């Protein structure tokens, strides 16, 4: 239990440092809009639509639809922590794509979540964006692909050929933490 708590804190610190590094690296680019500030609301709405639809396709087990929301490149990453699996790190599309496809094949029944997302924080740059939010999912009893309770989520996205695509997903599944009021 103590090791899990240490690993959880290490992962949280790593994600915070990585997010700060991304902000600093992108800091010299022109900012189009920030959280709830008028500007390019089209990009903001499109980014949220991509996040929502990518998640829906994931839980619907629609691999072709799901993969269309991702950049297929060696630099993409997913990193997270959850009680059932501990720290999870997946590097590159050559690992992410087949791994998710196998999870969907092994667990083919749709797992509708209808998650609630709150506390959305977004920074949009010329062709990149980062988003953090709290996500509340339900437990449908699927051991591999459920995200029940509160999950602290991060997305880093790039605009390629005029479309927003995901290049990084991070999550810390807290589980039964109470919902904010």
Please indicate whether residue 89 or residue 28 has the higher confidence score (pLDDT). 89
pLDDT at position 7: 53
Tell me the pLDDT band of 167, cut-offs 50, 70 and 90: very high
Closest CA to 138 of 159, 113, 163: 113
pLDDT digits (tens, 9 = 90+) for 87-125: 999 999 999 999 999 999 998 988 887 889 999 999 999
Tell me the CATH number for domain 2-175: 3.10.450.50
Please indicate whether residue 10 or residue 57 has the higher confidence score (pLDDT). 57
Residue 124 contacts residue 47 (beta carbons within 8 Å): yes
The domains of the chain are located at 2-175
| Measured CA distances, 39 to 21, 31, 42, 123 (Å) | 24, 10, 9, 12
Residue 93 contacts residue 78 (beta carbons within 8 Å): no
Helix ranges (H only) for the chain are: 2-26, 41-60, 63-67, 93-106
pLDDT at position 29: 38
| Measured CA distances, 162 to 34, 42, 140 (Å) | 19, 12, 36
Q: What is the model's pTM?
A: 0.75
Tell me the pLDDT band of 2, cut-offs 50, 70 and 90: low
């Amino acid at each position: 239990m103590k090791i899990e708590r240490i690993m959880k804190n290490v992962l949280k610190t790593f994600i915070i440092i990585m997010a700060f590094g991304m902000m600093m690296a992108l800091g010299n680019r022109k900012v189009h809009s920030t959280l709830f500030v008028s500007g390019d609301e089209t990009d903001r709405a499109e980014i949220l639509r991509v996040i929502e639809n990518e998640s829906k396709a994931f839980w619907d087990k629609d691999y072709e639809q799901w993969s269309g929301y991702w950049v297929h490149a060696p630099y993409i990453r997913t990193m997270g922590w959850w009680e059932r699996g501990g720290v999870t790190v997946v590097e590159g599309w050559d690992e992410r794509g087949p791994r998710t496809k196998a999870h969907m094949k092994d667990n083919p029944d749709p797992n509708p979540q209808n998650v609630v997302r709150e506390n959305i924080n977004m920074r949009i740059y010329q062709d990149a964006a980062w988003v953090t939010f709290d996500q509340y999912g339900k437990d449908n009893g699927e051991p591999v692909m459920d995200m029940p309770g509160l999950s602290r989520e991060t997305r880093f996205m790039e605009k390629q050929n005029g479309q927003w695509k995901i290049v990084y997903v991070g999550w810390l599944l807290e589980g039964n933490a109470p919902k904010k009021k």
